[in-house]
């Protein structure tokens, strides 16, 4: 969130707020002392402290996110579905086709696209093919915990 400014009845203040992993950093820098505004010089010092702290937390947050991304290339929605694998219905020649749509972000930042027909292969086989494609593109071992979690996500679709 960064640095926000609040002018409430209990004093003018700056708030530095960031969430890094499960830890919430919520720090307050008051621009008043004993109910009176600080001098302009002191206010500039406090603002620079708050901005410096926010920059420090932002860098820490970016490092943490990079570590998480490298350690776990697959993410899940809260309902259990795999991020990048969606079930869609497409209109094709006046009929509706049920498909799994793949959008896989590769480690280099590029994206791999694909789709697998559920109508053609059946739900179970299409889901297995989608997982095989994800595993192949991201080079994930099928004996890992993340692969088991991906297989368990089948019930969410």
Query: For 55-81, how does the pLDDT look when each residue is reduced to its tens digit (9 = 90+)?
Result: 999 999 999 888 877 667 777 888 888
Interatomic CA distance for residues 135 and 138, integer angstroms: 5
Interatomic CA distance for residues 52 and 114, integer angstroms: 44
Q: Where are the domains of the chain?
A: 2-71, 85-156
Q: What was the pLDDT predicted at 39?
A: 93
Q: How many helices (H) and strands (E) does the chain have?
A: 4, 8
The three-class DSSP label of residue 122 is coil
Query: For 4-15, how does the pLDDT look when each residue is reduced to its tens digit (9 = 90+)?
Result: 888 877 778 999
* 139: region left, alpha or beta (phi > 0 left; psi from -120 to 50 alpha): left
């Amino acid at each position: 969130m960064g640095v926000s400014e609040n002018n409430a009845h209990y004093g003018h203040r700056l708030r530095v707020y960031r969430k890094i992993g499960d830890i919430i950093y919520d720090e307050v820098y008051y621009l008043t002392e004993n109910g009176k505004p600080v001098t302009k010089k002191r206010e500039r010092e406090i603002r620079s402290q708050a901005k410096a702290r926010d920059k420090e937390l932002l860098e820490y947050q970016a490092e943490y996110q990079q570590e998480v991304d490298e350690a776990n290339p697959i993410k899940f929605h809260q309902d259990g579905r795999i991020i990048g694998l969606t079930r869609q219905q497409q209109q094709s020649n006046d009929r509706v086709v049920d498909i799994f749509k793949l959008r896989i972000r590769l480690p280099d930042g590029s994206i791999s696209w694909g789709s697998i027909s559920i109508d053609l292969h059946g739900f179970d086989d299409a889901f297995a093919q989608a997982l095989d494609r994800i595993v192949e593109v991201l080079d994930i071992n099928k004996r890992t915990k993340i692969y088991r979690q991906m297989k368990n996500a089948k019930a969410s679709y």
